[in-house]
Amino acid sequence: MAERKVMSLPEAVERFVQDGDTVYCGYLMLPMALVMELVRQRKRHLELVGASLVYQATMLVLAGCADRVRTGYIQGALRPGSITERMADGRLRFEDYSNQGIALMLMAGALGIPFIPTRSFLGTDYLAPENQHHTGHYPGYRKWQEMESPFDGQKAVLLPALRPDVTIMHAQRADEEGNIQWWGHKGDARWAFWAARRLIVTVEEIVPSDAVRSDPDRTAVPASRVAAVVHCPYGAHPSGVAGFYDFDYRFVGEVLAPALDSDAAFAAFRGEWIDACPTHDAYLERVKARYGPDALDVLKAEPHRPLLPVDYGFAPWFNLPVREDIP
Amino acid sequence: MSGARPEDYTLAEMMCIAAARLLPSQGNALAGLGPPILSGVLAKVLYAPDLTFSTEVGAIDWRPDPATATRAPVGIHDELLNVNVALTSDMIESLGTYLMGGNVDVGLLTGAQVDRFGNLNVLCLGPYEQPARRFAGTGGNTEIAGLSGAVVILMPQEPRRFVERCDFITSAGYISGPGARRRAGLRPQGPNYVVSTMGVYQYDTPDGGDSGSCELVLSGVFPNVDPEVVQALVPWPLKLADRIDLVPPPTVEEIRWLRRLDPYRYYLTPGRY
């Protein structure tokens, strides 16, 4: 019998995330239920990677789960505060790349090649030797190498491949076998699905395999890449999911963003919204308790379905005689 | 719709409008985070319906419908970018095949600092090793600046933002002057512009950075702005164009559209600039 992939949030995190792991933690459709479960299970010394790390990463750093980031964008550093203080005093180590850089590094990891060239970073101070070894630098890690192409002499910057130990993501749907389907713009997440050693995905819906296999263009990765699938409606809240619900600006503006300004504010947020909520459903109930029973309904997306259906049809028989003459 | 009168426009609004007027009427635009998005969408609605609009999350050729538009995308990732768009792809396509592959005619950017040669800094103030102020980082700013066919930068006219040399060049313009782009391995680029809250700058280079001084040159000023005031706000001897255009004030239609596209004042919060 095939391995059981559908499981609970706590089981998925307990089995497939280890202290010290390098974790790709999502983009756009953020795996917020998984992030909060990492906090509940008190994971430690995680390295967070991704093109642009936003509040999901700030939460994991302030919760003491993560102490390193490799990324093109640290949203928590936009304003001076708890994240910039950690960057300055060494509690949070960091390697600055860019969106394209991280996407390429994940792609190289997914392809199983050691590095990948780009023309990004040329002409910038990122390439200055002194900036390879700054305060937040990870010991023993080489950031990039400028070189001339051995074929035509063009300048290029080589970036090292990036293979997360685990990728956590949220997507629209999956089947019970673990095939993941998604749609909409994808940021750098496509290659994080392929690059990760272990993959945990929360989904809005579990659908029959027939449905998945009837529209295979929408599949992000086949089941063999997936370690765990968790059925978790609103698992990306307060971020949005195309076709399901939109970003919860009110919650982020009034509850989440102020909680990320200082350690004290985060401790209060964590107590109320994570530790006091043993499940994601309990967290969603708390959102409704604060903003009213329709708090999630008002986020619901208007339908925008394709105007024409897609047809993958083929002819079951070729216009050739079936060879019954060959034994 | 805002109750503000068009004649009470802010300088930030004027900056977005002036940048929108500069965009080419066709070709492919890629807009980075912040006011460049608002400016790009305004251009599409009013002046350049055939200019394609894309963001680095993977939305390629998104089209606002002027009849039903409730907002410009809030951020580069707004879910509305999944509707009425030619291609929803990922960053390997948007910043790789699309941008680095040579398909982007104009990049729209902002930043914390811009310098004499049009380089941008979005990473830190002071030395990288011990910054006086750290920011989020580049996102896709580095590659959009370096690899677009031309770049339009929106930058509030503040002494801390216009500097002789960026504290950290995250995003290459003409780097250190003529020939520097080619030496670094980058293609010539232009015509580039910087649009501030006081006027419009072009660059002193006829060929995308191979010759000329490659410095910013003030070529237009907004209503009631004296070029010498702009010069006084810039820490290097700013060159003035032989003829400085007077940029017309916003039209009623421009202001109405700009405010309609930013109903939550995400981009145009008074006092932000």
pLDDT of residue B271: 53
Q: What does each of the 327 residues of chain A score in pLDDT, given as a tens digit?
A: 578 999 999 999 999 999 999 999 998 899 999 999 999 999 999 999 999 999 999 999 999 999 999 999 999 999 999 999 999 999 999 999 999 999 999 999 999 999 999 999 999 999 998 888 777 787 777 899 999 999 999 999 999 999 999 999 999 999 999 999 999 999 999 999 999 999 999 999 999 999 999 999 999 999 999 999 999 999 999 999 999 999 999 999 999 999 999 999 999 999 999 999 999 999 999 999 999 999 999 999 999 999 999 999 999 999 999 998 887
pLDDT of residue A115: 97
Interface of A with B in 70-109 (CB under 8 A): 71-78, 80, 84, 87-88, 96, 98-101, 103-104, 107
Q: Determine, yes or no, domain membership for A142.
A: no
Q: How many helices (H) and strands (E) does chain A have?
A: 11, 12
* Domain residue limits, chain B: 6-261
Query: Phi/psi of residue B272, each to 5°?
Result: -65, -30
Beta-carbon separation of B172 and A123 below 8 A: yes
| A contacts of B98 (beta carbons < 8 Å) | none
> In whole angstroms, what is the distance from residue B181 CA to residue B170 CA?
14
Q: Determine, yes or no, domain membership for A168.
A: yes
Q: Which CATH superfamily is domain B6-261 in?
A: Glutaconate Coenzyme A-transferase (3.40.1080.10)
- For A10-48, b/e burial (b = at least 16 CB within 10 A) is eebbeebbeeebbbbbbbbbbbbbbbbbbbbeebeebbb
> In whole angstroms, what is the distance from residue B175 CA to residue B196 CA?
20
Whichever domain contains A28, its CATH number is: 3.40.1080.10
Q: Does A52 touch chain B (CB under 8 A)?
A: yes
User: What is the domain extent for residue A7?
Assistant: 1-116+162-303
Of B35, B110, B79, which is closest to residue A239 (Cα–Cα)? B79
Interface of B with A in 179-208 (CB under 8 A): 180-181, 184-186
Q: How many helices (H) and strands (E) does chain B have?
A: 7, 15
Q: Chain A interface, mutation test: which of B54, B55, B56, B79, most A Cβ atoms within 10 Å? A: B79
pLDDT of residue B273: 41
Q: Nearest chain B residue to A243 by CA: give it.
A: B79
Of B179, B115, B166, which is closest to residue A125 (Cα–Cα)? B166
The amino acid sitting at A294 is D
- Total Cβ atoms within 10 A of residue A172: 21
Interface of A with B in 194-233 (CB under 8 A): none
Q: Which residue has the tokens 């006084």?
A: B232
Q: For chain B, which residues score pLDDT lower than 70?
A: 1-6, 270-273
Q: Which residue has the tokens 């008190």?
A: A42
Beta-carbon separation of A125 and B168 below 8 A: yes
Of A35, A103, A118, A39, which is closest to residue A70 (Cα–Cα)? A103
Q: Determine, yes or no, domain membership for A283.
A: yes
Residue B254 C-alpha from the chain's centroid: 18
> In whole angstroms, what is the distance from residue B56 CA to residue A31 CA?
20
Number of domains in chain A: 1
> In whole angstroms, what is the distance from residue B153 CA to residue B144 CA?
11
> In whole angstroms, what is the distance from residue B43 CA to residue A281 CA?
44
> In whole angstroms, what is the distance from residue A231 CA to residue A203 CA?
5
pLDDT in tens, B138-192: 999 999 999 999 999 999 999 999 999 999 999 999 999 999 999 999 999 999 9
Q: Determine, yes or no, domain membership for A311.
A: no
Of B85, B49, B88, which is closest to residue B66 (Cα–Cα)? B49
> In whole angstroms, what is the distance from residue A141 CA to residue A148 CA?
22
pLDDT in tens, A211-222: 999 999 999 999
Q: Does B98 touch chain A (CB under 8 A)?
A: no
> In whole angstroms, what is the distance from residue A275 CA to residue A270 CA?
6
The amino acid sitting at B263 is P
Q: Which residue has the tokens 């103030």?
A: B125
pLDDT of residue B2: 44
Average pLDDT value for chain A: 96
Cβ atoms of A153 and B196 closer than 8 Å: no
Q: Determine, yes or no, domain membership for A188.
A: yes
Q: What beta strand segments (E) does B104-198 contain?
A: 106-109, 113-115, 120-121, 124-125, 133-134, 150-154, 162-163, 193-195
pLDDT of residue B270: 63
> In whole angstroms, what is the distance from residue A203 CA to residue A185 CA?
17
